[in-house]
Chains A and B, each alone.
Chain A
Amino acid sequence: MSYILKGKTNNWEIVVGLEVHCQIISNAKVFSGSSAKFGGVPNSHVSFIDAAFPGMLPHLNKECLYQSIRTGMGLNSKINLYSRFDRKNYFYGDLPQGYQITQLFYPIVGEGYIDITLEDGTKKRLRVERLHLEQDAGKSIHDRAPHLSFVDLNRSGVGLMEIVGMPDISSPEEAGAYLRKLRSIVRALGTCDGNMDEGSMRCDANVSIRPVGDKNLRNRVEIKNLNSVKFVMQAIELEAHRQLAIYEEGGHVTQETRLFDSIKMETRTMRSKENALDYRYFPDPDLPPVLLTQEEVDEIRRTLPELPEDRKNRFIKEYHLNEYDADILSGDNKTAEYFETVAKGRDTDKAAHWVMGDLFGALNKLGKSIEQSPVSPSNLGKLLDLMAKDVISGKIAKEVFELMLETGKDADIIVEEKGLKQITDTSEIEGMIDTIIAENPETVSEYKAGKTKLLGWFVGQAMKASKGKANPGLLNQLLTKKLG
């Protein structure tokens, strides 16, 4: 589905590349031993190294390096056996060293790609240029006092992976799919929690437009401060239209950095190219190059958890799901885990149906995540078992499920307590049928005269009499015979 902006002079297409910063899940910061935990009392997770005290030196936390490698593998990327750290120099209150340690010249991870599937089923491969490992800055707080700024260094030195995408994205929807897929990959790998609202995943978008068919790239604008998938999509759309208006009026788009304002729904200039900082990059002399062996890399690959893409393919094969269901059920670890617990040894079709239908619907209504589900996967499994064994009907199952949501009780206990067990005793059902026939002679006559549609009415009456517990198959069979 191509995304085209129709102008007066031309049809335009957009060109977008995303840069995503992912905070690494690790116990310790990337170049010091202090805790990398989110939040906390300001300046409580800060070592002298993080605060860049005189004489302090960085030392690489190997776990952060391995997390970057795992992520690179999730992006189908080349893992570089030689990588190196560089300093990006600039002054700011929350940057204690006066430079950020990053990897400009030799990143740990080289080219790779992310495959996305759009809503209409279109598939696209979006290339990733590189992933490099770097350290986060602290936080400046400017709104506590009129003439003072406060600095919190808890985040200073936390490991970040910057994932630089190629300008392969050509619609806001693709950008959204790219981000969601990336998020599901890092979550599956356990390398980043992917929470954009907490800032553990942050995105900058490089946006330009060009007339359809034009091969040359025009000036791009970098948009910062995008902290949700929705905002990324909105910002791209806004920015594309802003550029369109400029070009259509014969103007020129300047290369610059803009900020997205989600309240005013606009982007505005942060700094122009002329004011761009010279970061004076150079190899960090405090850190020797990182030299990996192929064996080391292979070992990391062997211990890699299952990736969403592989899991999806396995779901299709193992559980005979269609592509769409498999995609949804495999996308995130918790959902996949939940589904597999329900599906193992049961009717996988029914399992998928219940998880995606009743469960997702209920969670959505309750505003809860799958981890917070009042119905545990094993409990939902029990409910499916009760249906499979004809202990309850599908209809009663829905009732039981509602009660499970409310009470969190086990399915079999609810069925027992509420006496919802299906009636499969032929004589009991026959008794009920006999009573109905006896009490409604006229209807029986009508039925016998050929108005066979009335069978439904009899079923309804019998169900009512059994409080819905009569086995529907058995009931039908017996009714037909008796009225026969």
Chain B
Amino acid sequence: MTDLTKLTLTEALSGLEKKEFTSVELTQSYLDKMKELRRLNAFITETPEIALQMAAESDKRRAEGKAGKLEGIPMAVKDLYCTKGVLTTGASKILSNFVPPYSATTCAHLWKEGAVLLGKTNTDEFAMGSSTITSYYGVTHNPHDETRVPGGSSGGSAAAVAAHLCAAATATETGGSIRQPAAFCKTAGIKPTYGRCSRFGILAYSSSLDHPGVIARTIEDVAKVLEVMAGHDEFDSTSLNMPVPEFSKMLDKNIKGMKIGIPKEYTEMVPEIWDRALAFVKEQGAELVEISLPHTEQAASVYYITTMAEASSNLARYDGVRFGTRVDGKSLDEMYMETRMDGFGAEVRRRLILGTYFLSAKGYFEYFVPAQKMRRLIAEDFDKAFEKVDVLMAPTVPIEPFTIEEAKCGACATKINDTYSMPSALAGIPAACVPSGLQVIAPRYEEGLALKVAQVLEMCK
């Protein structure tokens, strides 16, 4: 039999439908590959028994004519998503013993449509980082060059997709954590509109910026997974209460007459494919328009102030009282300090301390409030741009992945790393990215448009 892991998700679905192979066979192929490439450290937890059981049940459903939209598709889940009965750590020591008695809403949606759980992917601890080096479970290696990082925080998911250890993976982004690893690992992905996917059951990093999304090998695959994960959730008050379009049916490859904006602030450094891509979309009948997003430079400060402030509050629940690890102390305060000192890694502690300061009586008005005002201006940059163009096109991240050594020295903090993704994350608008390192940013709720244009870019080699 051919290597089933070579198939895209869409191809695999078609093969399953045509009964060319079973989900158990497909799943076994991925499990074998996971075992073979365990050195990449893409997974924190592998769940082979659960996977095979889910695959067997899936095959049964398919035989009974009850196939869901992702029936039998083996997927990996970022370890920030709670999975009922399966260790969920957030790549943190403090949750190294936490087995949630519930699943994230998005996961529940996936299982309901027949997806199969292969395991939980590595990430930066509580998603704080962009190289997957802050994980308590060690660094993940980039499958294209194992001396390099896969990006982060969804590095495990991107690496697993790129190395064909799963058909697709869930991911989360607060300011580049889907798009940057997707680019570093040469995969596709989407950060949808804020609220499109429920946050319920996903470990919170920065509530106003946490975007659950998808990493997969093609835009079509991404679209198919997103339309299953998305949807209103009464348990997440910030989730969008609107119908989910069938994104995968909006991919008609026709961008004729479309106006594509090129933000001039995003072209300081461009990948090698850039000029070819510009020519390609013009050939396809789109019009290119130069656009300015004047508050781009402020995005990083706004991002760090907001995420650290929210995280300092969101992570207060990891206190050793009800779940997770605990280090006893002589008093309640001492127990808190010992537990959190031991349970959190250095990067998480650094961000919590800064975040605590940003919310202090002094810091609140000096940092947090101005940051929120600036955040609005950044969002308005996009609103104004979308008065003139349909979507924006830009490099995802215009640099090569760092080596693991560089990342450990803090090179990932280089400004350019997140410059092109943070503003659209702060604005909460959708952005789809393709393996060649380009992204398409669309207005709120227009994931379909972003995916459609991204798929055209995907064709440019």
Chain A complexes with chain B: yes
A interface residues, Cβ below 8 angstroms from B:
48, 51-60, 87, 89, 91-93, 96-99, 149, 151, 278, 280-282, 284-288
**Which of B236, B317, B356, B360 gathers the greatest number of chain A CB atoms within 10 Å?**
B317
Which B residues are CB-close (under 8 A) to A60? 237
Query: B309's closest neighbor in chain A, by CB?
Result: A282
Q: What's the Cα separation between A286 and B238 when bound, in Å?
A: 6
Which B residues are CB-close (under 8 A) to A285? 206-208, 238, 310
B237 touches A89 (CB 8 A): no
A282 touches B313 (CB 8 A): yes
A55 touches B200 (CB 8 A): yes
A55 touches B104 (CB 8 A): yes
Query: A286's closest neighbor in chain B, by CB?
Result: B207
A55 touches B204 (CB 8 A): yes
Which B residues are CB-close (under 8 A) to A51? 322
Closest 7 CB pairs of A and B: A98-B316, A280-B359, A285-B207, A285-B208, A55-B201, A52-B317, A55-B82
Which A residues are CB-close (under 8 A) to B317? 52-54, 96-98
Interface of A is mostly: loop
Which B residues are CB-close (under 8 A) to A99? 313, 316
Interface segment out of the listed B24-32, B93-101, B152-160, B384-392? B93-101
A151 touches B321 (CB 8 A): yes
Query: B337's closest neighbor in chain A, by CB?
Result: A91
Which residue from B95, B313, B316, B333 sits with its C-beta under 8 Å from A54? B95
Q: Is B162's beta carbon under 8 Å from chain A?
A: no
B359 touches A55 (CB 8 A): no
Which residue from B207, B236, B316 sits with its C-beta under 8 Å from A89? B316
B321 touches A96 (CB 8 A): yes
Q: What's the Cα separation between A96 and B322 when bound, in Å?
A: 8
Which A residues are CB-close (under 8 A) to B235? 57, 59
Q: What's the Cα separation between A87 and B317 when bound, in Å?
A: 13
- 19 additional A-B residue pairs with CB within 8 Å, beyond A58-B237, A59-B235, A98-B319: A52-B317, A52-B322, A54-B88, A55-B203, A56-B200, A57-B199, A57-B235, A57-B237, A59-B234, A89-B359, A91-B316, A93-B321, A93-B332, A97-B316, A280-B312, A280-B359, A285-B208, A285-B238, A286-B207
Q: Report the minimum CB–CB distance from A291 to chain B (whole Å).
A: 13
Digitize B297-325: 1 where CB-to-A-CB distance is under 8 Å, 0 elsewhere. Answer: 00000000000011011011111011100
B236 touches A87 (CB 8 A): no
Given contacts A282-B313, A287-B237, contact A54 B82 (CB under 8 A): yes
B321 touches A57 (CB 8 A): no
Query: B320's closest neighbor in chain A, by CB?
Result: A93
Given contacts A59-B236, A60-B237, contact A280 B313 (CB under 8 A): yes
CB within 8 Å of A: which B194-245 residues: 199-204, 206-208, 234-238
Can you list 9 pairs linking A and B with CB atoms under 8 Å apart? A55-B199, A55-B204, A57-B200, A57-B235, A97-B317, A98-B316, A280-B359, A280-B364, A286-B207
Q: What's the Cα separation between A53 and B88 when bound, in Å?
A: 12
Q: What's the Cα separation between A96 and B90 when bound, in Å?
A: 19
**Which of A55, A93, A97, A284 gathers the greatest number of chain B CB atoms within 10 Å?**
A55
Q: Is B368's beta carbon under 8 Å from chain A?
A: yes
Which residue from B98, B206, B313 sits with its C-beta under 8 Å from A87? B313
Given contacts A48-B102, A96-B317, A149-B332, contact A54 B238 (CB under 8 A): no
Q: What's the Cα separation between A284 and B202 when bound, in Å?
A: 17
Q: What's the Cα separation between A59 and B235 when bound, in Å?
A: 6
Q: Is B361's beta carbon under 8 Å from chain A?
A: yes
Q: Is B247's beta carbon under 8 Å from chain A?
A: no
Which A residues are CB-close (under 8 A) to B82? 54-55
B203 touches A54 (CB 8 A): yes
**Which of A93, A149, A151, A287 gathers the greatest number of chain B CB atoms within 10 Å?**
A93
Q: What's the Cα separation between A56 and B333 when bound, in Å?
A: 24
Query: B364's closest neighbor in chain A, by CB?
Result: A282
Which residue from A48, A53, A57, A278 sits with its C-beta under 8 Å from B236? A57
Which A residues are CB-close (under 8 A) to B101? 48
Q: Is B336's beta carbon under 8 Å from chain A?
A: yes
A91 touches B237 (CB 8 A): no
Which B residues are CB-close (under 8 A) to A92? 332
Q: What's the Cα separation between A284 and B321 when bound, in Å?
A: 23
Query: B368's closest neighbor in chain A, by CB?
Result: A282
Q: What's the Cα separation between A58 and B204 when bound, in Å?
A: 12
Which A residues are CB-close (under 8 A) to B313? 87, 89, 98-99, 280, 282
Q: What's the Cα separation between A51 and B321 when bound, in Å?
A: 10
Query: B356's closest neighbor in chain A, by CB?
Result: A280
CB within 8 Å of A: which B348-407 residues: 356, 359-361, 364, 368
Query: B206's closest neighbor in chain A, by CB?
Result: A285
A278 touches B361 (CB 8 A): yes
A55 touches B356 (CB 8 A): no
Which A residues are CB-close (under 8 A) to B336? 91
Which A residues are CB-close (under 8 A) to B203? 54-55
Q: What's the Cα separation between A97 and B206 when bound, in Å?
A: 15
Given contacts A91-B316, A98-B313, A99-B313, contact A54 B98 (CB under 8 A): yes
Q: What's the Cα separation between A91 and B336 when bound, in Å?
A: 9
Given contacts A54-B88, A282-B309, contact A91 B319 (CB under 8 A): yes
Which residue from A54, A97, A282, A286 sits with its C-beta under 8 Å from B359? A282
